[in-house]
Amino acid sequence: MTNNKFFNPLLIVFIVFMVSLTILVNVQISNKVKEGSYIGKGYEFQNIVSFSGEGEVYAKPDMGLVSLSVTNEAKDVSSATKENTEKTNNIILFLKNNGVEEKDIKTTNFSINPRYDYLESGKRVLAGYQITQSVQVKIRDIDSVGTILEGAVTAGSNQVGNISFVVDDSEEYEKEARDLAIADAKKKASEMSEQLGVQLVEIVSFNEGNSYPQYDYDAYSEKRTLGMGAMEESYTPDIQTGENAIRSTITINYSIK
């Protein structure tokens, strides 16, 4: 008759558990040892070479930007403000009546400054106040820029400046310039890798830089600052918009061997 005390189910479960635990601990220790062998090694060193390319396209501007200002003086703030406000409102009304939308007219400056006279004794006395109010205007009908400037001066603006011409939607030109820059960089990479005797493996990174210059127009400088009295003679300036250069610079980094 077999002795059942050697086949106690609880004893068998305990033995299986201990064996499994031992195996699991040994596996974890082995994995830690393997992980430790890589500590401090970092990434494998790669030989990298960079090539830069440039692309440039020209676009005719389709929008003008201009700053229109009214500067005036008076003995007291109230009188100076009244005169300045009336002239500025006349300018804005003229702009709206000539196709400039309200969203394209933005006040960029309103300042009040005291003006002093100095007596022979050196004493400073208040002579009055100077007020300047400026608006930036987007002129989307580029053919009307000259007419807008002439009309704004007639309406009361005695300072005209910061005239520039831009491409309103330049995304298409930016892409074209970028494509040219990438092609230029790849061409240089192919030529120089052959000259250097290295083999290009893959592109590891790249970056892009853009430049969109705006050209100021200064031929209207005769009327840029008209002082307190507006010019009686009126004329329409011949505005030349020229072309804007849209540039892209691409740098491509290759791993080599």
Q: What are 75-102's pLDDT values in tens digits?
A: 999 999 999 999 999 999 999 999 999 9
pLDDT reported for residue 86: 96
Domain contains 195: no
Residues listed for the chain: 257
> How many domains does the chain divide into?
1
Q: Edge-to-edge, what's the strand order for the sheet holding 124-139?
A: 105-118, 124-139, 63-74, 159-166, 215-216
118 within a domain of the structure (yes/no):
yes
Task: Give the range of the structural domain holding residue 89, as residue numbers without chain letter.
Answer: 61-168+216-242
Domain presence at residue 135: yes
Which neighbouring-strand residues pair with 21? none
106: in domain: yes
162 in any annotated domain = yes
The CA–CA distances, whole Å, from 96 to 2, 101, 102, 148, 222 equal: 112, 6, 7, 10, 25
Structure pTM? 0.64
Instruction: State pLDDT tens for residues 136-188.
Output: 999 999 999 999 999 999 999 999 988 899 998 888 999 999 999 999 999 99
Residues 6+ apart with CB under 8 A from 31: none
Closest C-alpha to 116, from 159, 73, 80: 73
Spatial separation of the C-alpha atoms in residues 180 and 21, rounded to whole Å:
64
Give the least confident one: 26-35, 108-117, 146-155, 235-244: 26-35
Measure Cα distances from 204 to 43, 49, 197, 254 in Å.
Answer: 14, 10, 20, 6
The residue among 189, 217, 186, 197 whose CA lies nearest residue 257 is 197
140 within a domain of the structure (yes/no): yes
Residue 85 resides in a domain:
yes
Q: Between vectors from CA 96 to CA 155 and to CA 234, what angle results, nearest 5°?
A: 30
For the domain that residue 235 is a member of, what is the CATH number?
Answer: 3.30.70.2970
Would residue 141 count as lying in a domain? yes
